[in-house]
Amino acid sequence: MGNVRSQLGQKFCSQFLPEEQAEIDRLFDALSSEKHSSDTSPRSFSLKALKSHIGEALPLEMVTRLYDGMRRVDLMGKAKGPSESISREQFTMSMSHLLKGNSEEKSLMILKMISATEGPVKAREIQKFTEDLVGSVVHVLNYRQELRGWTQKTGLGPPPRVQVLAAQLFSEMDLRGGEKLPGPQQLDCECDLAMVEAWVFRVPHVATFLSVVIHRGFLLRLPLDLATLVPERHVDQERVFESVLDILSVIYINSHLPREQRHRWRLLFSSKLHGHSFTQLCGHITQQGPCVVLVEDHDGHVFGGFASCSWEVKPQFQGDDTCFLFSISPRMAVYTSTGYNDHYMYLNHRQQTIPNGLGMGGQHNYFGLWIDVDFGKGHSKAKPKCTTYSSPQLSAQENFRFEKMEVWGVGDAPVLQQAKSSRSVLDKNPEAQILLEASGRSRHSEGLRDVPDGE
């Protein structure tokens, strides 16, 4: 891998299909048209031209990074330094690597976007690049009005969760062979191409975010699957509702859902809209398919869990190993099944001998996430870790209080079987039917309806 910088230039061949290459050529012609309108020299474009074309769609820092990365591309491996402007070949190679390249090719471009020097870069430079990348995704989606119903809170400076998500992505980089170093020492580590390549391969968000920034920043007329990145937001009755989640939180959680459920989120329950009532919670979330449960405690910690199937009120655990717990604030993380037990989901109400509430992971009275029937109270008892999900304590306090709770159904709404409404309670409870017949009484509904086939 030592000669990869020169080899990539010498062996480069565009990975675009003919119609895709035509779009790349169109974009280059638009970028280079002003400078060379009456010039016979080979066409190229400047940073000024790139800034003019992109405008305010991307932050200036990211525009400059993209430009620097492209002009540092050495096609023949013989250049003594970066070019003053970007040629068609440099542009095509850069776009090919960033949009369709493998992990090695993407990593090569990332390093060129970070530093003009050959060789490793400091970990703190990777961290800053990651923050710029995450911030650019929020910026361009907001600017292009492609938040799909979600709102982005405005204010001075970058949204706080830009740093939170960037920190999570950066934490996936293997520094010093996985050795845990103190913060300052960790950021002083040197990262070579192999380390960056392993990071890009392991963390698909990096390549995805680069693709979004380029497609939407340049307004490329090429397909981009935003539907599975940013789910469409549905709130019934067109009510004004501000979620605890911001766009980055939604993107992060959504990326861990099964692919067929990533395109749409439907608000099932909100304590703001439906009140602080456990009965209301149960009424709105049962039989509604997979969903995301979300809580913000009084200390500002935001956390929750993904339920992989419809909630049912019953005294048994339910769900499967695709359920998970997660944290959004103060840090982003997802905690998946350990396989230790099957205590994935639990919802019970109006029982006297076992706990009443909503729980995920752990065991009775020691859940990884617990919402008590006395609405507004909960706990996250996971010391040292939740047995089901290996999650730490998610809330600021082990026993917490909250006012904000949301439940979002994910994917399409389930089609409820109409036949269920025609069933008698006795159909579901054969013991009650036997007792009724033993006492000499009959079902008044007997003979008044036909029992559907299969029941």
Please tell me the predicted confidence (pLDDT) of residue 372: 97
- Is the pLDDT score of 452 beyond 70? no
- Span 65-92, average pLDDT: 87
Token look-up 């399409």 returns: 412
Nearest CA to 34 among 24, 44, 20, 26?
Answer: 44
Q: What is the DSSP string of 375-394?
A: TTEEE---SS--TTT-----
CB 111 within 8 A of CB 121: yes
For residue 445, the model assigns a pLDDT of 43
Alpha-carbon distances of 5 from 11, 76, 192, 292, rounded to whole Å: 11, 10, 12, 44
Distance between CA atoms of residues 180 and 176, nearest Å: 8
Q: Where in the chain is the domain with CATH 1.10.238.10?
A: 4-218
Question: For residue 368, what is the DSSP state?
Answer: E
- On the question of pLDDT at 178 being above 80, the answer is no
pLDDT, tens digit (0-9, with 9 covering 90-100), for 109-126: 999 999 988 889 999 999
Picking from 176, 172, 202, 201, the residue whose alpha carbon sits closest to that of residue 188 is 176
141 confidence band (pLDDT: 50, 70, 90): very high
Of all residues in the chain, what percent carry a pLDDT higher than 70?
A: 82
Q: Which two tokens stand for residue 323?
A: 């359920």
Nearest to 369 by CA among 356, 358, 377: 358
**Nearest alpha-carbon partner for 236 in 198, 202, 274, 207:** 274
Instruction: Using DSSP, state whether 188 is helix, strand or coil.
Output: coil
pLDDT of residue 48: 95
Extract long-range pairs of 240-243: CB within 8 Å, 24+ residues apart.
Answer: 241/267, 241/270, 241/272, 241/273, 242/151, 243/150, 243/151, 243/267, 243/406
The answer to whether 327 touches 302, Cβ cutoff 8 Å, is: yes
Q: How high is the pLDDT of residue 1?
A: 41
Q: Please give the Cα distance from 236 to 206 (Å, whole number).
A: 34
Select the more confidently predicted residue: 184 or 378.
378
Q: Is the pLDDT of residue 271 over 80?
A: yes
pLDDT band at 38 (very low <50, low <70, confident <90, very high): low
Q: Does 80 score more than 70 pLDDT?
A: no
Phi, psi of 12, rounded to the nearest 5 degrees? -65, 135
Which residues are registered as beta bridge partners of 378? 371, 400
Q: Which CATH architecture has domain 4-218?
A: Orthogonal Bundle (1.10)
165 to 30, 130, 160: CA distances (angstroms): 34, 9, 9
Split at pLDDT 50, 70, 90, the class of 6 is very low
What are the pLDDT digits (tens) for 280-332? 999 999 999 999 999 999 999 999 999 999 999 999 999 999 999 999 999 99
